[in-house]
Amino acid sequence: MLNLLIAYGEDVWNQSPFEFGRSRVAVEYTAPEISERYRDFSEDALSELKSFPSLFVSENESSESRIGKVTEIRLRQNTIVIDFQFDETLPPLAPGTIEQLKVDLDLGNWELSRTHWAIKDENLLEILLRHRLLTIEQARRSTVFGEPPPPPAAQLAPGTYNYNQVFIVHGHDELTKLDMANFIRSLGLEPIILHLQASAGMTIIEKIEAYSNVGFAVVLYTPCDVGAKHGDLTLSPRARQNVVFEHGYLIAKLGRPRVTALVKGVVETPNDISGVIYVPLDNEGNWKEQLRVELRGAGYAV
């Protein structure tokens, strides 16, 4: 997820704060489901918005664009005032760069000509790295993309578990991931999301090993991919391959009672993991009580 903030004037982002009209925040050029999540500016919504990397762009790219974060959000009757800060370790983006990234950033027609604040379901770091606008080393030094220091990677003693953390496996559905993380926090627990943890030179599988020393894991099966048996013409929604792999890995490491899979919509699930219960991610939120029951069964005080 990222914030895309566009305003008129070459010097518009030279000084914090900045004021937007309420009707131009989390509404224009923002997908309906994302707008629904953020336009009421709840406490959780404001916290999430401040956690996203942000692109600060002048209308029609009349000056360089900058990368940073929204550090504070103040709600007024008809406006929203933000404080912001650029990450000085990241290079400015030359005029024309945002236009070149139009498809990657999901820019709408004439969006660069309109003062507004949109929220995009795109990974800014991946986009910048793919187009070589940023280096891995710059990303590691960044306060925007930087990561917290890693916890001790040592394995826990056999039969002991960390009951303060829950490991979350996810695909590309950012909103579902955020919903799950918020729910885990509401229980007084710490959600562990792999890409937010420091790599410290570790490979992906080493990171999974290091950060999955927990008492429980949640696996989110969301329709991020499609696939079919060779020769079939009908494609079915599937979870990302990493989700299926990590699901199996965590069952082997933690045991089946300590891993719960939640399914959003109609998604193919592995047929060779016997005895696994898949909880529907329903819109009514019934999954929350079911997950709470599973956590209690695993020894969590929730």
pLDDT in tens, 134-176: 888 888 788 887 554 444 444 555 566 788 899 999 888 888 8
- Per-residue pLDDT, averaged over 204-233, amounts to 81
Q: Find out whether 144 and 68 touch, Cβ atoms under 8 Å.
A: yes
Q: What is the pLDDT of residue 277?
A: 76
Per cent of the chain over pLDDT 90 is 48
For residue 34, pLDDT over 80 is answered with yes
Q: Find out whether 196 and 211 touch, Cβ atoms under 8 Å.
A: no
Q: What is the pLDDT of residue 141?
A: 82
CATH superfamily of the domain spanning 165-297: Toll/interleukin-1 receptor homology (TIR) domain (3.40.50.10140)
Comparing 65 with 207, the larger pLDDT belongs to 65
- Per-residue pLDDT, averaged over 87-91, amounts to 92
Question: Half-sphere exposure of residue 280, counting CA atoms within 13 Å on the CB side?
Answer: 7
Contacts of 65 (CB under 8 A, 6+ apart): 55, 56, 57, 58, 92, 93, 95, 97, 98
Q: Find out whether 53 and 124 touch, Cβ atoms under 8 Å.
A: yes
Q: Find out whether 168 and 181 touch, Cβ atoms under 8 Å.
A: yes
DSSP 19-76: EEEGGGBSSTTS-HHHHHHHTT--HHHHHHHHHS-EEEEEGGG-S-BEEEEEEEEEE-
Which pLDDT band, with edges at 50, 70 and 90, does 288 fall under? very high
- At position 61, the amino acid (one-letter code) is E
Which pLDDT band, with edges at 50, 70 and 90, does 199 fall under? low
Which pLDDT band, with edges at 50, 70 and 90, does 289 fall under? very high
Q: What is the mean pLDDT of the chain?
A: 86
Show me where the domains of the chain are located.
2-141, 165-297
